[in-house]
Amino acid sequence: MKMDPTAIQVEFHFDFGSPNAYLSHRVIPDIEQRTGVKFQYVPVLIGGVFRATNNVSPMVAFEGIKNKNEYQQLETERFLRKHGITNYQRNPFFPINTLQLMRGAIAASRIGVATEYIDSVYRAMWEDKLDMGQTDIVLTALKNASFSIAEIVEACSDPAIKEQLINNTEQSVARGNFGSPTFFVGTEMFFGKDKLVDVEDEITRQLNE
């Protein structure tokens, strides 16, 4: 007997500052449609993950390595072609401080507009190439959204929101996270956009147990 899709817990631990997390976000709906399993988006602060694990961004890790960054670009182009993503743009302000944006994701979840907020921020960051580390730009970019961005920005100063982001990040690291994007299917962890194939395979395996 096939397991009820709602019984399977799939988590996407994300930070808006990761272009690979954005690309994963673009592919996740197709996996949800094929499997019937919804991904739970868990906001974490990638800077906090890096500090806790002594990790650094690929931009830093690969600096000075001949051919490595060129290959990373080739891999990205292949991923874009495979999934028909045509509007992805490198953000000229990268890396961007995403602390307020990630607190905003938690605030948006609490008022029931997480999906709309996440979609809007990702578009602004990785399609419109905006400097979303600046509050005034965030307010302008999202002023016509279906939710109140002013309300979300104001909520970012709530100590409970700040604490939730810290807790999410610490708990994610405790489960094995060292970067973004990271996925959990139950207790099984997968890292990187290229592992989405394995994420879907694990979902299917659990569905058929």
Right CATH number for 10-207 from 3.40.50.12160, 1.10.287.70, 3.40.50.720, 3.40.30.10?
Answer: 3.40.30.10
- Res. 4: pLDDT tops 90: no
Q: Which amino acid, residue 70? A: E
Give the DSSP letter of residue 157.
T
Q: What is the pLDDT of residue 175?
A: 97
DSSP tally for the chain: helices H, then strands E: 10, 4
Q: What is the pLDDT of residue 189?
A: 98
Of residues 65 and 90, more confidence is placed in 90
Degrees, nearest 5: CA angle 51-152-45: 10
What mean pLDDT is reported for the chain?
94
pLDDT band at 58 (very low <50, low <70, confident <90, very high): confident
Q: How confident is the model over 149-185, as pLDDT tens digits?
A: 999 999 999 999 999 999 999 999 999 999 999 999 9
Q: What are phi and psi of 149, to 5 degrees?
A: -65, -30
Q: What is the pLDDT of residue 56?
A: 78
Q: What is the pLDDT of residue 65?
A: 85
Q: What is the pLDDT of residue 83?
A: 96
Distances (CA, A) of 191 to 19, 178, 199: 14, 9, 9
Domain residue ranges of the chain, discontinuous segments joined by +? 10-207
Distances (CA, A) of 70 to 56, 90, 94, 125: 19, 14, 18, 22
pLDDT band at 63 (very low <50, low <70, confident <90, very high): confident
pLDDT band at 59 (very low <50, low <70, confident <90, very high): confident
8-17, 28-37, 66-75, 169-178: least confidently modelled range: 66-75
Q: Of 178, 159, 89, give the one whose Cα is nearest residue 128.
A: 89
Of residues 102 and 7, more confidence is placed in 102
- Res. 1: pLDDT tops 70: no
Is 181 within 8 Å of 128 (Cβ atoms)? no
Q: What is the pLDDT of residue 64?
A: 83
Query: pTM for the whole thing?
Result: 0.93
